Structure 1
């Protein structure tokens, strides 16, 4: 805050709680002469416990130097961070450029090369991961399609088996004549009574069935 040691010592020699207006005024004048602007003076007065009312500030403004050496603040340069270079497989021009940058004497260039190499490695890993994911999804889709086709074939086979079983049952029941078991039993009884040879089970010959139908048609005509 102070650019002159004499002024600093003069300000420090004042008591923190001055008991007279003269001491307050002297401290305020020293503070004003050591200020860079009105804002700086107000902060200093307030820090020292000196009056900061408008009248005091107006009276002290002429004491502020017209020019002053303002403190210069410098921001320290960030420290260089060495990132290990991961060797990657690129096209020759890109790899040559990265090799040149990695061996550059300037730390900023080397660090940029390291960051680019790390980014490229991350992108390569992400590309390979997404490609593997797509391949897995395609395999799952193909497996689902194969499963659906197999299930459809199984349903078709089951439906055909039911149809075949029903047809077989019809053959066994009606012996291929479209007649019920009761009708076939009646025909067998009639055939034996009329001198025909017929088995107790199995198919009844077409000749015997026609003879049975003819006899019953004639009987029906006579009855009518």
Structure 2
């Protein structure tokens, strides 16, 4: 309070800078937190030159402190803001959702839970939560997504234009990041399919080369080993037949002399091989 009239007149002549919308909204919220009821809120706003229309009062009504005029022994919420949170909790909203939507602090949330007659939420001690219906652990990604969405919803409905604009920018960035992640995932999956197809093609080409090499070897051996005439009905083998048997034996890893009749085991093996070949050709 001024004691000098000259100083008082000088201060009164100072030009006041009008508040912008954000400053006005912040000042109204601070005033509402200290008001006690609708009439008190309207009086305080009018005295400070802040908007005090019906729409402004409705927006700020959850914040004023409710006067304690209830009978002794009947508990009453500290203020209408807490009462709103307690009502949401009773309707089944999760404490996390209520806190993010209303912008509650930990102490305010605990007070709302107390007035809603609900057990106080225990602090998170695990990296995951449990789905009450399926009983399976829910990853932190789902909880984080719900929290981000609730925070964005709160910001998009905030009375301050700067908060709403920031929420719009954040949501746009989230959409862009989601699309980029989807594109990167699709590209990685396509690269994996291409790599798998290349590996299968290389394996098929290797198998084909092996088959071709095996066919050429069999053809070379067949041409290198002349077909010997079938043994005569008398059981004796001609010189030409014995020469063919020796050639066949050497080609099939049998040891035979340069002259004479090969061992009986070699003759039997030769006859068995040619009987199989003749049967295959006949079929």
Q: TM-score range by the shorter chain?
A: 0.3 to 0.5
The two structures have a TM-score, normalised by structure 2, of 0.32
Instruction: Tell me which structure has the larger Cα radius of gyration.
Output: 1
The two structures have a TM-score, normalised by structure 1, of 0.40
